[in-house]
A and B are shown apart, each in its own frame.
Chain A
Amino acid sequence: DVQMTQSPSYLAASPGESVSISCKASKSISNNLAWYQEKPGKTNKLLIHSGSTLQSGTPSRFSGGGSGTDFTLTIRSLEFEDFAVYYCQQYNEYPPTFGAGTKLELK
């Protein structure tokens, strides 16, 4: 199975700041990577697929980059609603696998 290593596990930031989350695959996955947001009381939200394509409804302050084995999710000018847990997921091969998650907390 493709192992997805996500870092950091925790990230503390303030509204208005920019943050980046890293996701590394154990082998090349081309650009078959998605990012999700998890918030209590809400269904998981697909933010980005194909490494950098924003899903409809995802604010433009979110961006994704990378290909092969190294990927990054960047959130510019954090808003209060962005404090959540973020997961990466590869869908290049079966089984799809997820990173361990990054909890973005309010500083």
Chain B
Amino acid sequence: QVNLLQSGAALVKPGASVKLSCKASGYPFSDYYIHWVKQSHGKSLEWIGSIFPNSAYTKYNENFKNKATLTVDKSTNTAYMDLSRMTSEDSATYYCSRCGYYYSGFPCYFDFWGQGVMVTVSP
């Protein structure tokens, strides 16, 4: 069965960076876009960007272009998101999810989600 397993919670100092991981299993990793979504405490969901593991092609929300960098390691079926220059505004839960369409770069719904990772920015 499809599973997206995310790394554990992170405590980050202001100005530092953090790298989050999302290990996929149960399906051909290279063939489905992985998307990342932010959920600030008690708030709704905000799309950060996506990556196609087959080619490492990325697409970003303009609001996160200078904040997030998406990469993949096909040898381990893992997607990564680097968040840079962290501030209190970046404290949130971050989710990875799989596009519900095979091989599609169009906007899509998300048929499987990771469990989310809470990132806290604090001195």
Contacts and interface: CB of A to CB of B under 8 A. Distances in A.
Interface residues of B, number: 24
Contact of A91 (B44, B61, B108, B113): B108
A49 B107 contact: no
B97 A44 contact: yes
B44 A98 contact: yes
B25 to A, nearest CB: 14
A36 B59 CA distance: 23
Interface string A25-43: 0000000101010000001
A87 interface: yes
Contacts, number: 57
B95 A91 contact: no
Chain A interface SS verdict (over half): loop
Interface string B101-123: 00000111111111110000000
Contacts of A8: none
B115 to A, nearest CB: 5
* Max count, chain A CB within 10 A of own CB: residue among B45, B107, B109, B113: B109
Given A43-B115, A44-B95, A49-B100, A99 B109 contact: no
Most chain A CB within a 10 A radius of its CB, from B59, B62, B107, B116:
B107
A96 B107 contact: yes
Interface string B37-55: 0000001111100000000
A100 interface: yes
Interface in B11-61: 35, 43-47, 59, 61
Contact of A46 (B45, B59, B100): B100
Contacts of A101: 44
26 contacts: A32-B107, A36-B110, A43-B4, A43-B115, A44-B110, A45-B113, A46-B109, A49-B100, A49-B111, A87-B44, A87-B45, A89-B45, A89-B109, A90-B107, A95-B47, A95-B61, A95-B107, A96-B35, A96-B47, A97-B47, A98-B44, A98-B45, A98-B47, A100-B43, A100-B44, A101-B44
